[in-house]
Structures are given as C-alpha cells and as structure tokens.
Amino acid sequence: MRNRTARSHRFTPFAFIMALGLSGCAQDDAPAPARAVPGYELGEPVAVSGDFASVNGIRTRPDGSLLVADGTGGELVLLDFDLGTRTVVGARGEGPGEYQAPSRIWALPGDSTLLLDIGNNRLTVLAPDLSFGATRPMFEMDPDRGIVLLNPQAIDGAGRMYSTGLSINLGSPAATAGSGSDSLSVLRTTLDDLTPDTVARLAPRSTAEVEMRSNRGDRMVTMQRAPYSASDSWGVAPDGSVAVARAADYRLEWISSDGSVRSGAPVAWDAVPVGQAEKEAWVREQSSRSVQAATFMTGGGGGASPSSGMAAAAARRMTLGGGSDDVDDYEWPETLPPFTGSILIDPQGRAWLRRHQPVGAPFLYDIFTPDAEHAGTVEIAEGHTVRVFGNGVVYATFRDEVDLVYIERYRLPEM
C-alpha cells in the first residue's frame, strides 16, 4: 500500500478493477475544514481466486481460509488461498447438511458459523469442522408483531444479531420496535430470544414515487427509495459497539454497549454532481439487485423450493421495488451524498466507509479510529469492493466483463 503523504510509510503502488452502492443527496452547508489525513493506495493483490456467480457473504476462519456464500451459484465454498484449494461444503437440497441459496455467513463464538439460507427459509449453525447442526426458520409468527423476520445484517463477537427490521405484514403499531416514521432503529436480538433491544437510531430514508410501464405499456406508480438518498450507515464491532456514520454532517459516532457515545468531528468532502453516468450506474445497480433477489427466491437458480414462497414474498417487500430502466422516470438530486454502503470494522477496531466518488474514479475508503476520529483514506481501483478482513490482510471482490466475481487478498496498511 502506498502512502500519498510525505509523513507515513511507503508501499508499492499497482493497478486494478468492480462495484456495489447505496444512495444520496447533498448537504446544504459546506462541511467545516478538516485536518489533513494520510492517504494510502492498495498495491497489487497478493492472491486472487474466482470465479463465482456471486459473493454474497465471506467469513474469515482462524486458519486463514475463507467461507464464501455464492447464492446465485447455490454453493457454500471453503476457499484456501495458501493451498490453492476450493472445496464445496455441504450440498444443494432441502435436507440436513444442505441448502438452496446460501446468502450470508457470520462467525459465531467457538469458531462456529451461522449460515443464512434464503432458499430454504432457514438459519443453520455449522460446527468448527463445518458439519451442519441446528437450524431455525427465518420467519416466525408472533401474535403481537405479525411475521417476525430473522434476517441478521451483522453479528458481534458474542453471537448477538443486529438488523434494522424484524417484522413484516404488520398487524399492530407495536410490530416494529422503534421504527417510527421519524427514524430507523438498529435492533439487537439473539438466536434464543427475538425480543429486540434498540441500540442505535438512524435518520429515515427518503422515498419517492416512480412511474413504471407494465409489459402492456400501461403506466403505474410505485413507491421506492429515492435515488442517491442520503442515509446513515452503520456497522458492528466484535464487542457490540455500533459505528454510525451520520449523513447530515458526515461524522462518525461510536455507540458503546452501555449506550455512551463517542462522536468525531465532521469530515470535509467534495460534493460530486449527479451526471448521466451516475444516473445510469444507479439504475443498473437496482436492476442487478432485483435480479439477484429473484434468483435467491428460486433457490439460487435451481428451481423454487417448497419453502421459498414466504421468502419470496418477504423479498418483494425488502427490495427496492421493480424500478425502471429509464433514468427519466426518476427525480435526481444535484449531488451525491458523502458516503455509500455499510461500515466495516477491521482487526484494529477501525471503521471503514466508502466515500461516494464520480463514476470512473477509484473507490476511496475513509478510515476512522475507535475514538471516531478520521485517521486516513485508502484507495482501491473502481469496481473493487472491500468486503472483510483477516490477519494483516483485507479481501475485496470485483466483477469481470462476463459477470463473474473474483476475490482478491491485499495486505492491510500500517496506519
């Protein structure tokens, strides 16, 4: 990795390539000037492995190997860069030791793994030797909350699960804990107790009316997330602390398990105009997400499973809507918001958040200390998305011109 200032270590620069996204809106007031921070460029990857139909989840294991969930390909893969091996774990199906559409995976205490299998509508615990153990359904009926959806977005070192929603098909105002129209809540539960604790509140996401054409040419109106709407981002550290990036003034907060908050200074950023390239990129991303969700709901492209009906209904509620391929059907902001995507936490407890850049520019990650201070930036080629960290390394994914996904390993910077 190369330092782009004169006061830190130098790393050898090289070139590279892929993408993922979120949304945006501009600030009314320019952010306060910030102190200069070191900037780094990742060098050439030390290892590359592929090709996957998709990479929906990656989990690093203590021995340095990776578990990779390929929901589109319908495989859970054990990947060892050092040995050069790639082994399918389990098999496609609906019985014990099987899955239909492995979507996400997380580490649990004791080197166990939690697998989210959308195709079979269930969560499965894998032992350290990757044998399949206990399962539970993703959906449960609750008389007070309606259908409770167990869809973790993060898991801490104690195995507690975090998400921004637990219920669908709501039958009462109490169905979504802390999710009123004035905010969106980050909720914490466990596999054994789905009673949620609210650990953070996020600014509400903007929605917009979008006109779409049916196959017969009719026009209809649907509600979906506004393009590039400014949204707070969040991530969870192993100790259960929640990092929240505030879109209103671009600053980071760390919310500890005891509820105390450490807040950093606002980060200076240059607003990026929304041009034709940015509009087309956003529409492509929504289309890709819709296709991927549909693939999941049919068991990773292998035909619908008997349990996929409820999952498909939930997916239709969770996706961004069918959308339109015509950029003129949307109302666009003048500029991109400051950042996009979820917050990642590295082994040093630093928060990584991708800054919005113009289409065609390298991806740029802002790095924040455990005290919420802006510590530096890390640059990687456009289309390469940082996904997970290992011992002294970082893994990124990119998609090639024929739509196959590769995983790259890089050395972490010394910051």
Tell me the per-residue pLDDT of 316-346, one tens digit each, with 9 for 90 and over: 444 444 456 688 888 899 999 999 999 999 9
Q: What are phi and psi of 296, to 5 degrees?
A: -55, -45
With a CB cutoff of 8 Å and minimum separation 6, the contacts of 67 are 57, 58, 59, 61, 76, 77, 78, 79, 89, 105, 113, 130
Contact 153, 124 (CB under 8 A): no
- Alpha-carbon gap, residue 216 to 194, rounded angstroms: 44
- Alpha-carbon gap, residue 374 to 356, rounded angstroms: 16
Torsion sign across C-alpha atoms 25, 26, 32, 38: positive
Residue 286's H or E segment, with its range, is helix 276-297
Q: What's residue 311's pLDDT?
A: 45
Q: What's residue 391's pLDDT?
A: 93
Q: What's residue 313's pLDDT?
A: 45
Name all domains of the chain by residue range, CATH numbers in brackets. Answer: 2-411 (2.120.10.30)
Q: What's residue 62's pLDDT?
A: 94
| Model pLDDT for residues 31-45, shown as the tens digit of each residue | 444 468 999 999 889
Contact 130, 89 (CB under 8 A): yes
The pair of three-digit structure tokens given for residue 409, joined into one six-digit string? 């390993």
Q: What's residue 396's pLDDT?
A: 98
Q: What's residue 215's pLDDT?
A: 55
- pLDDT lower than 50: segments of the chain: 1-34, 169-181, 299-322
